Amino acid sequence: MILRKEETFYREKMKELQLTRLKKTIEGVYETVPFYKHRFNEAGLELSQLSHLEQIQQLPFTTKQDLRDNYPFGMFAVDQSEIIRIHASSGTSGKPTVVGYTKSDIYVWSELVARAIMMAGAKKGEVLHNAYGYGLFTGGLGLHYGSEMLGMATVPVSGGNTDKQIQLIQDFKPSVICGTPSYTLHIAEKMEKQGISPFENSLRVGILGAEPWSEKMRSVLEEKLGIKACDIYGLSEVMGPGVAMECHEGQNGLHVAEDHFYVEVIDPITLQQVEDGQEGELVFTSLTKEAFPVIRYRTGDIASLSREKCVCGRTTTRMSRIKGRIDDMIIVRGVNVYPSEIEHQLLYSKEVVPHYQLYVNTTGTMDRVSLHVELTEKVYKEASFSVQHATVRKISTDITRRLKNHLMVSMDVTVCAPNTIPRSEGKAVRVIDQRVLNSYT
């Protein structure tokens, strides 16, 4: 295993490096991005007085709305002629957020993704099947450049055309598969249907992320594909995939690339930093980016931090798996719950497949949540192809009870016939908020 020296720095040494880079970044954006100059002046900041990393808390936050207000290139810190790549994240409403990269940004990003792939246990000379979408989304090209930099034979299949993907996996014999957990599951299920056993395929590592997933989903994917599945995190506003990565030795939290990003967790209400181990909203400050530096960017993602040394030997701060996004949290009769927690409980039931959707509706003043799950083909057959069968009613009652006992939430569970819940080729849509839909009708 090859580790970069920055991955094993003592905390003080890492902080020293971060402070030097932070100073350079904030002095740079003050000069080059009118938005930051205005914000820093408004906050009455004396940038030359920054002498401790902890003083970062005096800097104002940046939000997605700020990026939208400066659409498309208002937050770029270099001349247009320095930009060699543009990505954008679609978002569900309004304008997309647009991000740019210089040549050096692409180099650093590729290096970090190469580091992430190694962390998952892959190496030069192996074949990597990249099923993340290519295009404006950072997943496809992000993994692609990192994989090439590492010296892997990179197969740029992108998302979709699942039968073809399976054919290529059979023929090219990749050791690594990259994709969203939900789409990778779809590939795994199709392989199963075609009678390809997990022991027959060449895969041994999964680099999965871009959407929240649960520990139980990890076991399902590991079992179905015969792989070690590692979580990869990132977001276009901060860079793309590779901001943090789980190591295959520990599979217990994601190592943040702290030499390039300063991470904080804040209480989304008080906006104050919380203690290590406590959950809150992740906030990132980029330390080396040229084209699109971000200062205290509020991600909307919920996680906690740990500074304990990992079994792999890395000393970098680890973030927990993402529990969910603030805007995906559902409040069911006063109880806060994230789709990934529901997923975790649901997957204990062997009679249903791991695809699900949550419909949120309002009756009177109460929000009602209905969980739609899908039967396995085997159980459906045993229930005489009817979702009204007594067996199916029992499955529904058991899932309802489990959710009530473990998450303290009561929700209606609708058990559907096989293949009725839409499969995604990228990020899965887990929550269908009919409160929003209804308000437009």
In the shown chain, the binding pattern of residues 311 to 330 toward ligand DLL, with x for contact by CB under 6 A and - for none, equals: -----------x--x-----
Indicate the residue among 154 and 299 with the shorter CB distance to ligand DLL: 299
Task: Note if the bond before 72 is cis, omega within 30 degrees.
Answer: yes
Indicate the residue among 216 and 325 with the shorter CB distance to ligand DLL: 325
Span from 2-10, 203-211, 288-296, 415-423 in contact with ligand DLL (CB under 6 A): 203-211
Longest Cα–Cα distance in the chain: 74
Residue 318's nearest CA partner among 423, 245, 260 is: 245
Instruction: Confirm or reject binding of residue 212 to ligand DLL (CB under 6 A).
Output: yes
Q: Least CB distance from residue 350 to ligand DLL, whole Å?
A: 25
Indicate the residue among 203 and 322 with the shorter CB distance to ligand DLL: 322
| Beta-bridge mates of residue 176 | 128, 205
Instruction: Confirm or reject binding of residue 145 to ligand DLL (CB under 6 A).
Output: no
Residues 146 and 116 sit within 8 Å (Cβ to Cβ):
yes
Backbone φ and ψ of 278, nearest 5°: -90, 145
Binding test (CB under 6 A) with ligand DLL, winner from 174, 206, 240, 253: 240
Name the 3-class secondary structure at 318.
strand
Instruction: Confirm or reject binding of residue 138 to ligand DLL (CB under 6 A).
Output: yes
Name the 3-class secondary structure at 167.
helix
Task: State how far the Cα of 271 lies from the Cα of 428, in Å rounded to an integer.
Answer: 30
Residues 39 and 60 sit within 8 Å (Cβ to Cβ):
yes
Binding test (CB under 6 A) with ligand DLL, winner from 9, 233, 262, 380: 233
Instruction: Confirm or reject binding of residue 299 to ligand DLL (CB under 6 A).
Output: yes
Residues 129 and 155 sit within 8 Å (Cβ to Cβ):
yes
Site for ligand DLL in 72-111 (CB under 6 A): 89
Indicate the residue among 117 and 407 with the shorter CB distance to ligand DLL: 117
Q: What is the DSSP string of 66-126?
A: HHHHTTTTTT--S-GGG--EEEEE--SSSSPEEEEE-HHHHHHHHHHHHHHHHHTT--TTS
Task: State how far the Cα of 271 lies from the Cα of 273, in Å rounded to an integer.
Answer: 7
Binding test (CB under 6 A) with ligand DLL, winner from 132, 145, 262, 292: 132
Indicate the residue among 241 and 395 with the shorter CB distance to ligand DLL: 241
Task: State how far the Cα of 388 lies from the Cα of 372, in Å rounded to an integer.
Answer: 15
Span from 23-31, 100-108, 232-240, 382-390 in contact with ligand DLL (CB under 6 A): 232-240
| Beta-bridge mates of residue 415 | 373
For residue 170 the two structure tokens come to 């059979």
Binding test (CB under 6 A) with ligand DLL, winner from 7, 66, 126, 211: 211
Q: Least CB distance from residue 141 to ligand DLL, whole Å?
A: 10
Task: State how far the Cα of 276 lies from the Cα of 263, in Å rounded to an integer.
Answer: 11
Indicate the residue among 242 and 403 with the shorter CB distance to ligand DLL: 242
Q: How many residues bind ligand DLL (CB under 6 A)?
A: 22
Residue 314: Cβ-neighbour burial (10 angstroms; 0-12, 13-18, 19+): buried
Indicate the residue among 191 and 229 with the shorter CB distance to ligand DLL: 229
Q: Least CB distance from residue 13 to ligand DLL, whole Å?
A: 28
Instruction: Confirm or reject binding of residue 297 to ligand DLL (CB under 6 A).
Output: no
Binding test (CB under 6 A) with ligand DLL, winner from 150, 185, 203, 235: 235
Q: Least CB distance from residue 129 to ligand DLL, whole Å?
A: 14
Instruction: Confirm or reject binding of residue 64 to ligand DLL (CB under 6 A).
Output: no
Span from 6-14, 152-160, 235-243, 411-419 in contact with ligand DLL (CB under 6 A): 235-243
Binding test (CB under 6 A) with ligand DLL, winner from 137, 261, 284, 292: 137
Indicate the residue among 297 and 380 with the shorter CB distance to ligand DLL: 297
Residue 319's nearest CA partner among 378, 275, 276 is: 276
* 202, amino acid identity: S
H-state helical runs in 151-291: 162-172, 181-193, 215-225
Q: Contact residues for ligand DLL (CB under 6 A)?
A: 89, 132, 137-139, 142, 209-212, 231-236, 240-241, 299, 301, 322, 325
